[in-house]
A and B are shown apart, each in its own frame.
Chain A
Amino acid sequence: MKDINELKFPENVYYTKDHEWARLEGDIVISGISDYAQDQLGDVVYVELPPVGDRFDNGEVFGTVESVKAVSELFMPIAGEIVAINTALSDMPDVVNADPYREGWMIHIKPSDPAFMETLMTREAYLDMLKG
């Protein structure tokens, strides 16, 4: 596992306490797991995502991400409807490790309340949390 200083935490996304990131693009929120989360988990072997059209509350479990010897649940950063999932992950789950914020995205959400994004953590707040 890497030191926190070696991990990447872009400025242009928000973070959750469960280590998801979320970014608003137009009226869609894109989400995945942070560099810290993928590093903790190790080599990702499988990502289980919900069918498009499912609706979840904020903080609800929408899927799981698995390494060889661990499973982590994935939590909704914001309430809303799943409008797209990253189907490429079924063949190439390793992109979650290699590029967690871009190629490794997991879901597109149509948020019920886009303003809720402002309650998520900024890079600084997330780093503070990680450094405890």
Chain B
Amino acid sequence: MTEPLGASGLILNEKLLWEKGRKGRSGFSMPESDVPSSPLPMELVGDGPDFPDLSEVDVVRHYTRLSTWNFGVDTGLYPLGSCTMKYNPKTNERQAGLSGFSGSHPMLPESLCQGALKLMADLERFLAEITGMDAVSLQPAAGAHGELAGMLVIHAWFKKKGNSRSKIIIPDTAHGTNPASAALCGYIPVQVHTGAEGILAPETIAAVMDEETAGIMVTNPNTLGLFENHLKTISEIVHAKGGLVYADGANMNAVMGIADMGRIGVDVLHLNLHKTFSTPHGGGGPGAGPVCVKKYLKPFLPVPRIIQKDSGQYALSEDFPESIGKLLAFHGHFGVLVRAYSYILSMGAEGLKKASQLAVLNANYLKEQLKDTFHLAYDRPCMHECVFSDRYQQEYNVTTLDIAKRLMDYGYHPPTIYFPLVVHGALMMEPTETESKEDLDQYIDTLKKIAVEAKETPDVLRSAPTRCKVRRLDETAAARKPCLAG
């Protein structure tokens, strides 16, 4: 094996912000006052928040040191399954930072924000084209928010038909946000089991779909990294009982330019721009979760809608009386939308299709190279990710958690672990298309070495990681006596 990536780096300790402050310092260039002082009534005035006073250098060192304790996509391979941690192009950051985009106020008259509206109208059109759906709203702030938007659209559709339904079908492989979003609309989730092939069987859906059920929420490709091959038939079953099909598009990165969600019978779908469309995840957000629908559901999309007048001018219209309303104070996470737009323009149709092809190639390559080392949950061609488990390592009392933690010592972010719930001890790996063969080979070698260690020196895994800023943390004590502020 070549020299491992992971090495003990230069890790500096750093105190908490308020342990550093000294009264009399400042890290801000205070503008001079050119107006007289105008005191407020004393009973309204408070003492001011107890923030530490720091110099500019204090602040810069503090956050620079903190940043070195983090691992990002720019640091290295980040095979976090179902999260699509692909490279986030720098050009996207440049575009979003342009003063027009970053400084534009959302409540200005439309004539003053045509560029922003055009960008959004274009992006809506691009996303409709990529998914095969008819209309798009960019307002939802994240994937789960897009799910909520989609479920509200479905709820509004049934309400209009005077037909209220109480249940929604959700497979056991679903992300937890699916049932949680459905519950916000008052739907009771009906869990169905994934078949032996790792995908849904039409009979399973036919057995539970009835006229009390609003439809199905299904992730396609699913969280096992498999394409739901029977989705078209399932859609027909759901539609025949008057239901609608919601597709969670979190894994759209596998099928751009290949699958047509509209043709499959999907009625509503959300995308995660921070996954498929390369916008950075920012340590947990902000993302964006556009919701895409078929023509007949367009009247229910969130308002305001962007419309183009006969003059060619763009406008914001509230004139959609059946709309579910507003989901966010303004027009969605515009800064994130700019990045996704920039990505699509950089890639073009061919580039996006190639990205999906290479994402799937990388995942299948990992699967083939590792399937003798780790137990493969479903041994069939996968899409963008593949799911292993710790079954082969159990005899050494080594768990998925130990394998994940050991990967950190070798310079990798661990895969998604213990999800989906249907695979016991799951290790869910999504390499994405932006990893080269050389990098994948090194990752594969590392995992093979860890499998040998599991057998020969299992304690090394159980005590990993040892090269990070901290070792394993006591999450139990942290939850028993939570300390959430200093």
Residues of A within 8 A of B (CB): 43, 45-46, 66-68, 93-94
Contact = CB atoms under 8 A, between A and B. Distances in A.
Contacts of A46: 479-480
A68 B475 CA distance: 7
B13 interface: no
B70 interface: no
B205 to A, nearest CB: 28
A79 to B, nearest CB: 25
B476 interface: yes
Given A45-B480, A93-B480, 9 more contacts: A43-B476, A46-B479, A46-B480, A66-B479, A67-B476, A68-B475, A68-B476, A68-B479, A94-B480
Contacts of A43: 476
A85 B224 CA distance: 43
Nearest to B476: A43
Nearest to A67: B476
Nearest to A43: B476
Most B Cβ at <10 Å: residue of A43, A46, A66, A94: A43
A46 B480 CA distance: 7
A46 B478 CA distance: 11
Contacts of A68: 475-476, 479
A94 B476 CA distance: 10
Interface in B430-486: 475-476, 479-480
Contacts of B475: 68
Interface in B212-238: none
Contacts of A94: 480
Contacts of B479: 45-46, 66, 68
A67 B475 CA distance: 10
A68 B476 CA distance: 6
Contacts of B480: 45-46, 93-94
A98 B310 CA distance: 74
A5 to B, nearest CB: 19
A43 B476 CA distance: 7
Closest 8 pairs (CB-CB, A-B): A45-B479, A43-B476, A68-B475, A45-B480, A68-B479, A68-B476, A45-B476, A93-B480
A94 B479 CA distance: 12
A68 B418 CA distance: 14
B426 to A, nearest CB: 14
Nearest to B418: A69
A43 B479 CA distance: 10
A72 to B, nearest CB: 15
Nearest to A94: B480
A68 B480 CA distance: 9
B394 to A, nearest CB: 12
Contacts of A45: 476, 479-480
Interface in B43-65: none
Most B Cβ at <10 Å: residue of A45, A67, A93: A45
Interface string B13-33: 000000000000000000000
A71 to B, nearest CB: 12
Contacts of A93: 480
B315 to A, nearest CB: 48
A45 B475 CA distance: 10
13 contacts: A43-B476, A45-B476, A45-B479, A45-B480, A46-B479, A46-B480, A66-B479, A67-B476, A68-B475, A68-B476, A68-B479, A93-B480, A94-B480
A99 B480 CA distance: 17
A68 B479 CA distance: 7
B353 to A, nearest CB: 39
Contacts of A66: 479
A66 B476 CA distance: 10
A63 to B, nearest CB: 17
Contacts of B476: 43, 45, 67-68
A64 to B, nearest CB: 14
A46 B482 CA distance: 11
A36 B104 CA distance: 60
Contacts of A67: 476
